[in-house]
Amino acid sequence: MSSLANPGPLTCSATLTQRSSVKPILPDAARLLVPILWSLTVGTLSAATPVDGWSDLFDGRTLEGWRGNEGGASHKVVDGAIVCDGPRSHLFYVGAVEDGQFGDFEFEVEVRTSPGANSGIYFHTAFQEKDWPTQGYEVQVNNTATGEGGYRENKKTGSLYGIRNVYRQLVADNEWFRLRISVLGRQVRIWVNDTESVNYVEPRHAPNGGYKDRRISRGTFALQCHDPGSKVSFRRIRVRPLKGPSMADANLGDAYAIPAGLSQLFADNVPVIDLHTHLKGGLTMADILQRQFRTGINAGVALNCGVGFPVTNDAGIDRVLGEFRHPLVFTGMQAEGREWVTLFSKEAVAKFDYVFTDAMTIFDDNGKRMRLWIPEEVEVTDPQLFMDLLVRRTIQILESEPIDIWVNPTFLPAVIAGDYARLWTPERMNKVIEVAARKGVAIEINDRFRLPSLDFLRLAKAAGVKFTLGTNNGGREDLGRLDHSVQMIREVGLQWQDFWMPGRRRP
């Protein structure tokens, strides 16, 4: 649809501390910047025109025009397809089409992966005798590969590897799918079947994912045989040159520039997914996709389910999932209140990619229901006694409710939030951290409320707790770039091993 072909620019947000539960307000500078950024489009610049017709790069019978490195024995032709199966090797196109030097182009190939296979397609690369190609970009092919040894590969098919990663599986193993890549000037677009997975414009001073020659330039294509356990087939490989307005002169690449700390996370295999995104306050699915294209931040849409919310039964789950699913976007259940466990069947809950809740709705010892973000409902006669109650209720939630993630962690009502550091003592922190670690519940690093504290995160990491990222946005204006989360990742020293991914559900 047009919103995918014309990704909008970055949104801007101010950070809001947990000291207040009021919806964040943009500072004056950011307020002025938002309409300027939203006025940028890439529509006219991405209207590429094929110069000539399609040219086949593979004849369906032989490897004529292709050259393998590291012995080349891992590539052979079987039933009209190039099969990559064996030790690491890359098969480079060295044929007559464009003399093997492609600048602006549209490339198509049909791909089939075996279960657990990892592969990729390089463009703007050059032949080298061994090792991973250092020149050009790689388009990831990985539906279900989990990595080798102690490494867990998080980047899925359709990723621009280490630059704009896709974390949700788009296609199945053992089935042919179409992968399409186009490059025009500095714009790279990738489609998996009919789903556009990447729409990226290389900015000035672009990140390179750890490879100094990973830049838009000219070069050839290469098919990857990743390892002996990865069998992948390629067929119907074709290309055609493109012409159109040059991105190099448009400066629109600067709208895709992101902080170095964020781009480094993409290269370091950290799953940068905002799993706490709400479609409210004018925010649409198209906006979420635009942010992903611009910043690389993937998303999970959280749907509120519980008493007093639009979804209160299994039929409601089916309705909202039918309305809000998108191939690139995870879908999560925000389990509201404590009654939710009685409202939905296990089968209905399992239709979500993940389930989370918070401890912002609790009951006191007299059975009074308190929503901690509503001052009128909160009674705090003694802050220490209230904290003891909150820790007990949080432990009960973590122990008894079948959730994947604890979100808005350590949130305090406004009346005592200013005393956070004194009230959340190490003893109280460790009590809830121990339960989260034992039950396998991940803890969110919340960008909106800037929670939990740095001390809490360090204790949780030491205990082996896994983490996720989340905004809990109030609308369109405060869906930002996870600036606080990126800072916490750096200060705590978190690595990809410390993060939980959707799809790894609790039994």
- Same domain assignment for residues 150 and 295: no
**Strand, helix or coil at 173?**
coil
Sequence-separated (6 or more) residues with CB below 8 Å from residue 65 = 57, 58, 59, 93, 94, 95, 96, 97
Mean pLDDT over 5-34 rounds to 32
Contact of 201 with 192, CB cutoff 8 Å = no
The pLDDT assigned to 17 comes to 35
Segment 279-301, tens digit of pLDDT: 999 999 999 999 999 999 999 99
pLDDT band at 381 (very low <50, low <70, confident <90, very high): very high
Whether 25 is covered by a domain: the verdict is no
Whether 118 is covered by a domain: the verdict is yes
The pLDDT assigned to 80 comes to 97
- Same domain assignment for residues 196 and 276: no
Whether 35 is covered by a domain: the verdict is no
Whether 11 is covered by a domain: the verdict is no
Whether 55 is covered by a domain: the verdict is yes
- Give yes or no for residue 209 having a pLDDT over 90: no
> Is 184 or 12 the better-scoring residue by pLDDT?
184
Structural tokens at position 265 = 């996370």
pLDDT band at 97 (very low <50, low <70, confident <90, very high): very high
Nearest to 333, CA basis, from 359, 354, 316, 313: 354
Q: Does the pTM of the predicted model rise above 0.85?
A: yes
Segment 41-54, tens digit of pLDDT: 333 344 456 566 99
Segment 240-258, tens digit of pLDDT: 999 876 555 456 677 788 8
The pLDDT assigned to 52 comes to 67
Whether 254 is covered by a domain: the verdict is no
The pLDDT assigned to 132 comes to 94
- Same domain assignment for residues 243 and 346: no
- Which of the residue ranges 106-110, 142-146, 390-394, 425-429 would you say has the lowest mean pLDDT? 142-146
d(CA 295, CA 132): 26
- Domains in the chain: how many in total? 2
CATH value at residue 385: 3.20.20.140
Strand pairing report for 298-305 and 273-277: parallel
Segment 292-341, tens digit of pLDDT: 999 999 999 999 999 989 999 999 999 999 999 999 999 999 999 999 99
Segment 133-164, tens digit of pLDDT: 999 999 999 999 988 888 999 999 999 999 99
- Same domain assignment for residues 65 and 177: yes
The pLDDT assigned to 150 comes to 85
- Same domain assignment for residues 245 and 264: no
Whether 409 is covered by a domain: the verdict is yes
Mean pLDDT over 69-74 rounds to 90
Mean pLDDT over 216-230 rounds to 95
- Same domain assignment for residues 303 and 190: no
CATH value at residue 72: 2.60.120.560
Segment 435-445, tens digit of pLDDT: 999 999 999 99
Computed over every residue of the chain, the mean pLDDT equals 88
- Same domain assignment for residues 324 and 188: no
**CA-to-CA dists, residue 310 to 39, 303, 356, 377, angstroms:** 34, 9, 17, 22
- Same domain assignment for residues 219 and 277: no
d(CA 146, CA 156): 10
Mean pLDDT over 100-129 rounds to 97
Domain final residue pick, 188, 219, 249:
249
d(CA 156, CA 262): 19
- Give yes or no for residue 473 having a pLDDT over 60: yes
Mean pLDDT over 440-464 rounds to 98
Whether 36 is covered by a domain: the verdict is no
369 forms bridges with which residues in the sheet? Answer: 363
Domain that holds residue 69: 46-249
d(CA 35, CA 471): 21
- Same domain assignment for residues 348 and 399: yes
The pLDDT assigned to 211 comes to 77
Domain final residue pick, 194, 219, 249:
249
Environment class of 15 (CB within 10 Å of its CB; exposed 0-12, middle 13-18, buried 19+): middle
Phi-psi domain of 428 (left: phi exceeds 0; alpha: psi -120 through 50; beta: other): alpha
- Same domain assignment for residues 218 and 299: no
Mean pLDDT over 448-453 rounds to 97
Domain final residue pick, 199, 227, 249:
249
The pLDDT assigned to 14 comes to 30
**Strand, helix or coil at 438?**
helix
- Same domain assignment for residues 245 and 269: no
- Same domain assignment for residues 92 and 237: yes
